[in-house]
Structure 1
């Protein structure tokens, strides 16, 4: 079922000389990279649609963590790893493959680009690259990433139907999935992240439609720089916080910052930038 022999074929095609490249590709499906991407899209694009995909990502994180833990299937042995790499959790299904579909595929779906071959090809390429990088690194079998990707498609379809385009509903589902994930995984780091982010989203989603529009591309650039800097600072603070309740509060604050950063930058830069642009 996990296609162990077929996985070896993929691993044997890439030598350790290219390990850094493979690791860089696999980061495109990491929670941190996906969070930064969605934050930038929220600040500079359609806020309601981006917030909806953020809720999908948070809900998916809780779902896949609980599923992996309940199934309890191990990763491949470290002897097949392409390079020394720190990985946590279980091996089936692949969380990176699942998350890539939920975020990249979710963006295509929520932005109504399902009939756009360029958008589909772009999202599909990213998902395939991330998924195969996990196999090449040796941290998943081919079957793990295939099942993870299929589950991601089903999950996006389900979230589309349940949320009906409302981020508040998406974050409600995320909270409902994060609570059991925290229990099942014994408060694993990413499960705590899912719970805190879901709470932050629930507390702030009602403000999304009231946020000010960007006045100019320059204001958008300032928003990305300021907003990104605070996200980095919060991630640094995370490394010194050990108590689970404080981590939940920190992750809630992280999502709240993503939502409220446009209002802060608008207030500070109101006398500097030009007329507002239309949010698409």
Structure 2
């Protein structure tokens, strides 16, 4: 079922000297990179559409963590790894979380922006999903069957969320909260499960203010949003080491993180940019 022999063929096709490239590709499906991408798109693009995809990502994180724990299938043996990666062997191997997340985020963006009929958008998303999925196999942290199921499940999840939410991010975060509670129960107080719970709470609270958020007025404002919002994310993530293993505080911290990302435009929108822009001109 997990296609061990085919996985070995993929691993053997990637020489060790290309390991850095493969690691870079695999990060395109990691939680940090995907959430940063969605935050920037939210700050600089369509607030409602990107908030919707963020809700999909948070809900998907909780769902895939629950499935991984319930299946409890191990990763490939340590000697299959292309290079040694910190934390790469933690958790279970089926289905692939990276492949699932890539499908949910990149596929979700295509759907949220109504680009399903645009072959270029579909091809671009499919290429990213395939690249992330194969990178996990090449690195030796997943079997081919893990990533195929993860990617397919991610696409099905996007279709289901499209229908359940009706395009409303608040509903998406509510579904995320429903999925996050059993994830914490099944998987325990892991970082991902607490991120799913706190993120769904923060997203749910923040999304209720979406309609009141000011529209982006200029590129300068967009740059400031990325700088201020990005700095906020770095500070909050830095507090993780201070909070440590106190699970309730981590949930609150992650709730603040998501709510802050959503509400950042309201804070930056209070500034006036007319003088600055006329000076630049």
- Equivalent in the alignment of 1:252: 255
Matched, 1:196 2:198: yes
Q: Which structure 2 segments of 5+ residues have no match?
A: none
Q: How many positions carry a matched residue from both structures?
A: 275
Give the aligned CA root-mean-square deviation in angstroms. 1.3
Once residues 276 and 142 of structure 2 are traced to their aligned partners in structure 1, the CA distance between those partners, rounded to angstroms, is 49
- Equivalent in the alignment of 1:160: 162
Give SS of 2:208's match. Answer: helix
Moved more, 80-89 or 28-37: 80-89
Matched, 1:71 2:71: yes
- Equivalent in the alignment of 2:242: 240
Once residues 95 and 191 of structure 2 are traced to their aligned partners in structure 1, the CA distance between those partners, rounded to angstroms, is 18
The question of whether the paired residues in 1 share the 8 Å contact of 2:29 and 2:132 is answered with yes
In the TM superposition, residue 20 of structure 1 has moved relative to its aligned partner by 1.2
When normalised by structure 1's length, the TM-score is 0.96
Q: Deviations over 1:149-204 (max 9, x none)?
A: 11001100100010001111000000000000011011111010000000001111
Once residues 236 and 17 of structure 1 are traced to their aligned partners in structure 2, the CA distance between those partners, rounded to angstroms, is 33
Once residues 210 and 41 of structure 1 are traced to their aligned partners in structure 2, the CA distance between those partners, rounded to angstroms, is 18
The question of whether the paired residues in 2 share the 8 Å contact of 1:102 and 1:152 is answered with yes
Q: Deviations over 1:36-60 (max 9, x none)?
A: 0000010010000000000000000
In the TM superposition, residue 239 of structure 1 has moved relative to its aligned partner by 2.6
Once residues 59 and 274 of structure 1 are traced to their aligned partners in structure 2, the CA distance between those partners, rounded to angstroms, is 40
Matched, 1:36 2:39: no
- Equivalent in the alignment of 1:130: 132
Once residues 244 and 219 of structure 1 are traced to their aligned partners in structure 2, the CA distance between those partners, rounded to angstroms, is 36
Q: Which structure 1 segments of 5+ residues have no match?
A: 276-280
- Equivalent in the alignment of 2:56: 56
In the TM superposition, residue 269 of structure 1 has moved relative to its aligned partner by 3.5
Matched, 1:182 2:195: no
Once residues 186 and 79 of structure 1 are traced to their aligned partners in structure 2, the CA distance between those partners, rounded to angstroms, is 29
- Equivalent in the alignment of 1:278: none
In the TM superposition, residue 21 of structure 1 has moved relative to its aligned partner by 1.1
2:147 to 128, 141, 145: 145
Matched, 1:261 2:276: no
- Equivalent in the alignment of 2:99: 97
In the TM superposition, residue 273 of structure 1 has moved relative to its aligned partner by 5.7
The question of whether the paired residues in 2 share the 8 Å contact of 1:94 and 1:144 is answered with yes
When normalised by structure 2's length, the TM-score is 0.95
Once residues 98 and 194 of structure 1 are traced to their aligned partners in structure 2, the CA distance between those partners, rounded to angstroms, is 15
In the TM superposition, residue 209 of structure 1 has moved relative to its aligned partner by 1.4
In the TM superposition, residue 270 of structure 1 has moved relative to its aligned partner by 5.0
The question of whether the paired residues in 1 share the 8 Å contact of 2:27 and 2:33 is answered with yes
- Equivalent in the alignment of 1:83: 83
After TM superposition, where is structure 1 displaced by more than 2 Å over at least 4 residues in a row?
268-275
Once residues 49 and 5 of structure 2 are traced to their aligned partners in structure 1, the CA distance between those partners, rounded to angstroms, is 41
